[in-house]
Amino acid sequence: MTVASSSNPSRATPVIAIHGGAGTLSRAHISAEQERAYHAALQQVLLAGQAVLAQGGTAMEAVCEAVRLLEDCPLFNAGHGAVFTAQATHELDAAVMDGATLAAGAVAGVSRIRNPVQAARAVMQNGQHVLMVAEGAERMAQEAGLATVEPSYFSTPARHAQLLAAQARQAGVVLDHDGAAALAGRAIDEGRKMGTVGAVALDAHGHLAAATSTGGMTNKLPGRLGDSPLIGCGTYADDRTAAVSCTGHGESFIRVAAAHDVCARMAYGGASLESATQAVVHEALPAVQGTGGLIAVDRQGNVCLPFNTEGMYRGLARVGQAPESFIYR
């Protein structure tokens, strides 16, 4: 499923969409138990975001709650369960953007903030800067009263095993779900390596918001920064067009400014959400050997969830309707 349209575009129903990364294990290498676990996690997060919107909450509140829960779930590469760098450390990134005001906030390279998405929102609310990194971002988060943890909090045995597998295979940098592929004994395809979480939402007031969070790539060089915390690359929201959160090989998404490109095609070229997202995912990204996907919602409540990999953990929930979650096409 690529597109879901609001049943009443003249008065769009509030909706939230989420993703948990692209580049999944093939159907032949994922067990029924694993598949059920992913669907259960996606459904739980969708219900929580849907509840925020149903109670009149803002799109920003909904996406931050959804991403916070994804960060707390070890199945996904963000927060607890984030992947390891080449030095067996964790460096986490996150960003948020408010479509009503174009206010944005992001943090990068942090290792002691329990929920980086909350720190990104704190940067946005402070208003002085848009992107803060490393120790400066962590000091800001502490001053904002956010929970901090020891770096070991983010570690899980599965992620450490993925690091060892990647290093043993001399596979270079490996994105989340291909790390799992390595553990399954399957050769890693360098074009199928994505791991990020994100959410986009439209609220009852007609406002849009986007949030994205990631642990980056398994075995990445310390100090590497991807697209997730870069406004316009992995995260963007504008009430005039759409809210977008991306997942994929970050270097490619940076090069084409993927999230903003979706909105620009709509604003300047008159493209629909469907045609804009399809063009970015299936034309602009492949032109630079980019693989991955994105989720997007427009001001009419249309939702698009395109990807050019074998699968993408994703779902959507409209207020008053049952949540839907998907892994494969």
The two tokens of residue 263 are 């909105």
At 199, give phi and psi (nearest 5°).
Answer: -150, 145
Q: Let me know: does 237 contact 259? Beta carbons within 8 Å.
A: no
* Termini Cα distance of the chain: 6
Closest to 42 in 3D by CA, of 322, 313, 318 = 313
Residue type, 187: A
DSSP string of 160-186, one letter each residue: HHHHHHHHHTT--SEEHHHHHHHHTT-
Which are the catalytic amino acids?
Answer: 196
Look up residue 69 and give its two tokens. Answer: 């829960």
DSSP structure class, residue 308: S
DSSP state of 323: -
Q: How far is CA 287 from CA 119, 283, 296, in A?
A: 34, 6, 21
Q: What tokens appear for 290 in the block?
A: 């980019």
DSSP 3-state of 204: coil
In whole angstroms, give the CA distance from residue 248 to residue 226: 9
- DSSP class of residue 119 equals H
Give residues with Cβ within 8 angstroms of 221, minimum separation 6.
85, 86, 173
Question: What does DSSP assign to residue 125?
Answer: H
CA gap 104, 122 in Å, rounded: 10
Distance CA 193, CA 189 (A): 7
Q: Which two tokens stand for residue 96?
A: 């948020």
